[in-house]
Structure 1
């Protein structure tokens, strides 16, 4: 069956009822073995995601094993940075998997749009992914296929983006041996660890390697061994060590400690890497206590672009001289981060820092101060060519106005965000701004409607 026919048959499933409870809708994504559809769960009248085998593989024994494997792994983990498995079953010999529906793009798609991220944003994002991976490793589960395309980025109601790990289809339970050895290397060539290429079973250290590849890719815009055929990529992994980010991409601005960490994660010898996600999380958190603390605001951030609510980092508050409250100490730290970002000149870092500070002020009930900081950020980042990330600040400003009863100001800011996102060529920003404009307009109409 060719790809065109397979896609047509997958689309023909729309409207089918799976397991007597799930009404299949449009296709969300297609992989090598499965097709993910949006669906409605009748019993709870909620939207879910249903994963089905590709039509030509509906009754393939290996596919059934992988679906069951994904269901077992996903059902053991309950963490906000992991997409939850809700149900698993079999319909006429065809397996199906029901998961949370996450309304957001894959991280790989976002990376294609922006090219790369400031190292600060990349670290904050990866710290959350590692937080979810910690739970998986604690349950004895090796993901074995971590990559940017297996991370969904969900935008929460307050504008915060939350990364969610998906696809445990080739996950391995560390205490189990496979029934039969794999004849081929499983995983994605750019992300698979060298020892797995050699035929060894993936371990926690293999997941750590994949996290290193993701960090490298997020910061530089490319993978360390990318280019050429799969065989060529895997051969280079076996023969050479990865180049440091600053050597491979001289224009990349990243502290030496971060470059050294990524280099360690990408070591050919798994014994030279960090052993698991817990050790990696400690290492990421420890960076905030080193000499890079002034340029690497990693510990317990409240960044409004990449939420860190799920991390386990501890913030070291210096309160030995004066009885400063934790809240005020944290706000001083946020202002210091903003000054550092402005001095660095990166528009993305400046936007992140303004959003962090505004969120911190809101949490401290300094609502007017939060508005002033957002407006100052908009003025600082507004560019004639429209290439900056000012739309992020405008969306936050619109939501701030809405929350504090300034409906007209909220609509104006939302429309401005839509215009700026369009000028910047950001599909994510345009979609978020359009949704916000529509919601504000509906609310305005409802408020103007006369009471019966």
Structure 2
């Protein structure tokens, strides 16, 4: 079934379940379409995500969408985008989320690595959000630059929001995935994720270590010419040292050791909690948060929005999806296929079949 174009989309202008007016279509992602909407009773802008028609008819994708809605609705931390409402309309599952404007880390990385203080402050906020998610029993499984947005709140500076819990796993959930399949983004997948083994907080912390490495150096730890080789390196190869990737940056030995521990191959050798990772960053000389970090426990305040864009860069609207660019649906990936080149790119979710 063909999806309607933004021009012919019958949802635009309609009212969803007497509560939300759909104003415009903003994005088509891997699993669904995202619209800008308005909550009628209060006039609040919202983001509304529908499953694609093909995905709504697929039991696995429909289940994953429901898991994302259930998982994200538990989140009350200002570093996480949360679900306001979800349901089914005319056999189309939907979720209503915070409307967030800002830039993804992938967009920021196109200009090269972040300054160390900014990179460390960003990572600390990501870890604060993950600590909250993990406390709710939620494992994200797809931490990467495309899924982190930086917003600008007046008087508070940069604020980080974790997007797209589309691969999230509840600890008590039976995955239901086909045997031999892995879900994630190869450059950020922990070895246990690649092997299809149980995942937990250390899985997200591995990806956060890869993320911080990239923020500090402008480079991913591993680059390869095929997905198979990239996944082999994730399983077997020790990441290059920070000082080798960015020899002029002067990174401390303590920071090197902290990142090395975050990216250990065995999950039991990594940090076991986001708060432990945070403490190690402080011990490595990162100091107190450069960017504001809200305490992990308790309901966080609503995140202020800023209308002013980042200096010299146009603002991009990013909602609770991977990003605003159209991306292909998740399909089996040929492990011998050419991997994406090493320059910063939007790296979409991959469903990787490890068998023939």
Compute the TM-score of the two structures, normalised by the length of structure 1: 0.62
- Contact 1:106–1:151 under 8 Å retained in 2: yes
- Following superposition of structure 1 onto structure 2, how do residues 2-401 of structure 1 map, counting pairs within 5 Å? 6=3, 8=5, 12=9, 13-112=11-110, 114-158=111-155, 160-181=157-178, 183-287=180-284, 292=285, 296=286, 298-301=287-290, 307-310=291-294
1:69: how far off?
0.6
Find the aligned partners of 2:229 and 2:15 in 1 and give their Cα distance. Answer: 44
- Contact 1:10–1:55 under 8 Å retained in 2: no
Q: Alignment partner of 1:35: what SS?
A: strand
- CA change 1:182–1:29 in 2 (3 A) is farther
Compute the TM-score of the two structures, normalised by the length of structure 2: 0.78
Q: Alignment partner of 1:146: what SS?
A: coil
1:11: how far off?
6.5
1:182: how far off?
5.1
Find the aligned partners of 2:21 and 2:33 in 1 and give their Cα distance. Answer: 15
- Contact 2:81–2:163 under 8 Å retained in 1: yes
Deviations 1:249-279 (A, max 9, x none): 3233322211221121111111211112122
Structure 2: where are the runs of 5+ without partners?
Answer: 297-307, 317-356
| Equivalences, count | 304
1:50: how far off?
0.7
1:90: how far off?
0.1
Find the aligned partners of 1:6 and 1:119 in 2 and give their Cα distance. Answer: 43
**Of 271, 291, 314, which aligns to 1:427?**
314
- Contact 2:121–2:289 under 8 Å retained in 1: no
1:308: how far off?
1.4
1:210: how far off?
0.5
Bigger Rg over Cα: 1
- CA change 1:41–1:310 in 2 (3 A) is same
Find the aligned partners of 1:188 and 1:118 in 2 and give their Cα distance. Answer: 25
- CA change 1:16–1:428 in 2 (3 A) is closer
Find the aligned partners of 2:172 and 2:315 in 1 and give their Cα distance. Answer: 41
Higher helix fraction (1 or 2): 1
> Cα RMSD (Å) of the superposition?
2.5
1:428: how far off?
5.0
